[in-house]
Amino acid sequence: MTEGLRGAIGVFGGTFDPIHVAHLAIAEAARDAFGLRRVLFIPAAEPPHKPGRQITAVEHRLAMVEVAIAGNVGFKVSRVEVDRPGPSYTVDTLEALRAVDSNDRLALILSAESFAELPTWHDPERILELAHVIVAPRDGYLAIDTVAVGRDTPLGGARIAHLDGPRIRLSASEIRERAAAGRSIRYLVPDAVAAYISDHALYQDPRRTDRS
């Protein structure tokens, strides 16, 4: 599996609200471990799995990704979901990337949590036809034994590789909460992302702002 991924394009989608050091560490670990040619960071315009939740404007999230990955030639940001109307379905993104270059092999990078939910996604069988899957560890989710995955399930026969780390316990919601409370987010996000959040007053609690 490792050799089969060498030279593939890593596809790392997410809300990135905001992007943080765990995202970057996982992407770099996957690039290094599997010899990926590069990793595409793809901010979701309309995450279909987060209905009703207030999400920061996509242009802000895109800008934070851009400043976060600046300087790493193995990372690139893609607007494929930003420029496409409607829900940001992964299957549509993979189809669009394949249409650009049908010879590119794609490797979808997912957390163990997201991988466990993959059978509920839009057209999971087609997702697994279009891409290999790299599963990154996450606390509370066991590694999935690919041998035990039945072929009568949407995951049956999937081309799955497991990333052995890093295990960084960090969530974007925690960072938003800290920023809203006026607490430091230094070392949780790249300095450039922290500066962007401050400069654009993202995640501020209006009640706290009114008292200042």
The values of phi and psi at residue 10, to 5°, are -75, 135
Which pLDDT tens digit goes with each residue over 160-208? 899 988 888 899 999 999 999 999 999 999 999 999 999 999 998 765 4
Rounded Cα gap, residues 24 and 29, in angstroms: 8
How far is the CA of 68 from the CAs of 97, 106, 153, 203, in angstroms? 22, 23, 37, 18
As a whole number, the mean pLDDT across the chain is 88
Which pLDDT tens digit goes with each residue over 51-103? 667 899 999 999 999 999 999 999 999 999 999 998 999 999 999 999 998 88
Per-domain boundaries in the chain = 2-168
2-168: CATH superfamily: HUPs (3.40.50.620)
Rounded Cα gap, residues 207 and 194, in angstroms: 21
What is the pTM for the complete model shown? 0.88
Rounded Cα gap, residues 112 and 145, in angstroms: 12
Instruction: Please spell the DSSP secondary structure of 60-76, one letter per residue.
Output: HHHHHHHHHHTT-TTEE
Rounded Cα gap, residues 92 and 18, in angstroms: 23
Rounded Cα gap, residues 127 and 155, in angstroms: 10
User: In what helix (H) or strand (E) does residue 1 lie, and over which residues does it extend?
Assistant: none
The number of residues making up the chain comes to 212
CA distance from start to end of the chain = 55
3-state secondary structure of 108: strand
In 3D space, the residue among 124, 167, 134, 161 whose CA is nearest the CA of residue 39 turns out to be 134
pLDDT of residue 138: 77
Rounded Cα gap, residues 210 and 187, in angstroms: 28
